[in-house]
Structure formats: structure tokens, C-alpha cells
Amino acid sequence: MAAGSREQWNSRVGFIAAAVGSAVGLGNMWRFSYLTAEKGGAAFVALYLIFTAAVGLPVMLAELTLGRGARKSPIQALAHYGGDRWKWLGAVFVAAGFIILSYYSVIAGWTVRYACEAIFTGFSDDPGQHFAAIREGWSAFLFHAVFMGATMGVVSGGVIRGIERVAVIAMPALFVLVCGIALYAATLDGAQVGYRYYLNADFTNAFSMDVLISAAGQAFFSLSLGMGAMLTFASYLPRDSHLPNASLAIAGADFGVAFLAGLMVFPLIFALGLQSDVSESTLGALFVALPKAFVSMGGVGRFVGLCFFVALVVGALTSAISLLEVVVSAAVDGLGWARQRATLVLGLVITALGGLAAWNIAVLDVMDQVANNLFLVGGGFALAVFVGWVMKDPIGEVEIGAEGVRWFLGWRILMRFVVPAVLLVVLYHSIPTTIKNIWELLTTL
């Protein structure tokens, strides 16, 4: 492409599909379900919804505003509005991209493996033992590498011919699969027990710091915020796009799919009497409890299980694409590399880094906590300070293409005061816990 010309999404729908594709992924299905189970059901869901609306949505609008306005990837976009002394924040974003994609792809690799098993061999009769055997080691690394290869293939195709083309097919397909499975789950005897667990709020633990921190981290992770992914996608937008509507559509679709995921997972598991697998849910619980449920449903279970894991693979792929795009666009804009070269080199570095997570699930768990509780929440805090206090005229920029919207002053107040204050409290409490968990990991290795 000629120097100075930047790719632009083919259509409004294409951008929305790609951004929803970024947001909707393992975060909505795997992470949301296991955290909901671990943190006590509906109360966690309610807090997560509050964070999505009050903190996630304003930060989403901020990222879209910065990206569309600067038409650059994160490091240059921050320098564009804040001068060179803000470049470090963009570099932190890129570092977060490396960390998140490297373990995200390992989990995605498990889902690829399970989808293959549903097709070729059927699920194992002893899912607990099976998962313990495949979650770490060479097999985990191999499927991770395959998944990374697919991600690199799409990103090297570019914004229109790679990312947009995959997203406009993948997102509707994922939505149909998720709705179909949720409807099927509703027909199972005993599904009500699952709904009751999922939807009956018990607020006794809701306000513990631990639950609040997880809900905040989950809101950022699920919306792909806090590391410039939405910013990067917005940098390929035309100048007249309506950013508030786009933010609402993305956040709405993201919460919708997470909510639907709960409507699939909990009835399936509870109808088959597998609640004990969930009550002390850990990161791997879904990869054990759900295959158990699918096995005990026989042939139908194998098909439903295939649909489920295909939905996970599709969601994970469109999310991984956005993570890799942040890193690749930084090298294209900042170092002047060709897209293909950046994708190949950086993709291979991330594949190698993922070896750490594939080698030990405890490392994966800590990488996930560090990325979410420190990088994303910290990145969201810094972004709020930047847009709230440093950027000259954020309202003037966000208003373009959205002239009739009245609540930008509310957005400004949220970005100046509410979002930074809330995130500071979350960080204050999550930093010690996260450091403690890193330390414990290091001493047990």
C-alpha cells in the first residue's frame, strides 16, 4: 500500500462485526462462566453489568475517539494527542497484547482440541483425567501453535481482506450457535436448577473486594478495553462514523453473548447433576464439567458439544485477531515494517511466549491475573486520566458524526472523576493480591 494511505473498513457493519468479534470470545464464554460460578452466581453478574455500563462503556467511547481521531495505532495515537511523553502508555498496551495473546491462545488451543475430538473420536469417558493430561505439555503447545497460525493467517491478510472478511461471517455464525445451544439446554429436565443458581442474586458476598476486583477485570477483559485494541480498530474508521452508537452496539452485544453463555452452561451442567464440578470452579472447570455433560447425553451430546466448542473456537479466533492486530499495527506504524513481516515475526514471538502458559497451568492463571488486574485495569485508569485531563478537546472530537447526542458532558464527568476514582480503588486492592499470587507461583515452581 502507498505510504500515508491507511486501510479503512469496507462498511459500518464490517467494523461493528470486527469490534464485536474482538469483544466476544473466551472471555464471554469460558471466563464469564467460571468466574460467575466461582464468585457466587447472579450477584457477580449484576456487578459485572454495572461495571460494563458505568466504567466499560465510557472507556470504550474514549478508545474509539482516540483511534478515529488520530488514525494511528496506540503508541502514535497517544503521542498525537498528548505528546511524546505519553508514548510509554502505548508501549504498555503493546506489552499487554503480548502477554494476553500468549496465554489466550493456549486456552483457545484446548477448545480446538475439544472440537476435533467431538468430530473424530467423541469426548473422553473420563473428562477430568483427560483434561489433566492435555491441558499442559506438548499437546497443549501444539494446539496453541495451530491456533496462532490461524490467527496470523487472518491478520496478515490485512484489515479488509483478513479481519473484516472473517468477522462478518464468524459473528452471525457464533450467535446462531450460542442461541441454538441455549434453547436446547432449556429443554433439559432439571434446567431450572441451573437457572436458579445463575439468576438468583445472593448479595451476601457481592461486595467483598475480591468479587468487585474480578467484576472490574472481567468487564475490561470482555470488552477488550485497556490495551488499545478498540483504539486500533477505530483507527481504520471513516471520520463521520457515529461513535456513541458503535460503543453501545459493541457493549450490548458483548454483554448479550456473556449472558447467553450462562444460559447455556448452567442448565447443561445442573441438569446433569454436575453442580459439585462447578461450586469450586477453577479455570479448567468448564473443560471438565461440560464434556461430562455431553458424554452423558450420548449422540446428541456429541453434536451439541461440537457446536459449543466450535462457537468457542470462532469467538476466540476473532478476539485473538484483535490482540495480534495491536502488536502488528504498532510495528507497522512505529517501525515501518511490512504487515506480513510484522505478523510473522511477532506471531512467532507470541507463540514461543505461550510456551510458558502451555507448560504449566499455574503460570497461565497468574498471567491472566496480571494481565487483567494490573495491565487492563491500570491501562483503563491511565486512559481515563489521559482523556479526562490531558487531551485538549475530547468532546469536540467525539461529537463528530454524532451531532445530535446530548450526554457528552456526562461522559466527560465520568472520564474525569468517576472512572479514575473507581479504577484507583480497584487497583489499590488488586495490586497486593496479584503480587502475592505471583510470589506464590514463583515459590512453588
Binding site for ligand TRP (CB under 6 A): 22-23, 25-28, 100, 221-222, 224, 227, 229, 319, 322-323, 376
In angstroms, what is the minimal distance from the CB of 224 to ligand TRP? 3
Among 236, 254, 248, smallest CA distance to 411 is for 248
In angstroms, what is the minimal distance from the CB of 301 to ligand TRP? 25
In angstroms, what is the minimal distance from the CB of 225 to ligand TRP? 6
In angstroms, what is the minimal distance from the CB of 258 to ligand TRP? 8
Residue 104 or 294 with smaller CB distance to ligand TRP? 104
DSSP conformation letters of 358-427 = HH-HHHHHHHHHIIIIIIIHHHHHHHHHIIIIISS-HHHHHTTT-TT--THHHHHHIIIIIHHHHHHHHH
In angstroms, what is the minimal distance from the CB of 45 to ligand TRP? 15
Residue 134 or 321 with smaller CB distance to ligand TRP? 321
Sign of the C-alpha dihedral computed for residues 413, 419, 422 and 424 taken in this order: negative
Residue 105 or 322 with smaller CB distance to ligand TRP? 322
Residue 182 or 219 with smaller CB distance to ligand TRP? 219
In angstroms, what is the minimal distance from the CB of 48 to ligand TRP? 12
Could you give the count of Cα atoms lying within 13 Å of 162 in the half-sphere of its Cβ?
22
Sorted by sequence, the CB contacts under 8 Å of residue 443 that are 6+ apart come out as none
Residue 321 or 385 with smaller CB distance to ligand TRP? 321
In angstroms, what is the minimal distance from the CB of 227 to ligand TRP? 5
* Residue at grid coordinates 454483554: 255
Q: Which residue is nearest to ligand TRP (CB)?
A: 27
Q: Is 53 exposed, middle or buried (0-12, 13-18, 19+ CB in 10 A)?
A: middle
In angstroms, what is the minimal distance from the CB of 405 to ligand TRP? 25
As given in the structure block, the three cell numbers for residue 313 are 473456537
CA dist 268 → 86, 125, 133, 308, 363 (Å): 48, 17, 24, 11, 29
In angstroms, what is the minimal distance from the CB of 254 to ligand TRP? 7
Name the helix (H) or strand (E) containing 308. Answer: helix 298-335
For the chain, helix, strand, coil in percent to 5 are 80, 0, 20
Residue 22 or 52 with smaller CB distance to ligand TRP? 22
Q: How is residue 41 annotated by DSSP?
A: T
Evaluate whether 58 touches 415 at the Cβ level (below 8 Å). yes
Residue 147 or 184 with smaller CB distance to ligand TRP? 147
Residue 30 or 270 with smaller CB distance to ligand TRP? 30
CA gap 442, 49 in Å, rounded? 34
Among 282, 274, 444, 266, smallest CA distance to 363 is for 444
Residue 27 or 334 with smaller CB distance to ligand TRP? 27
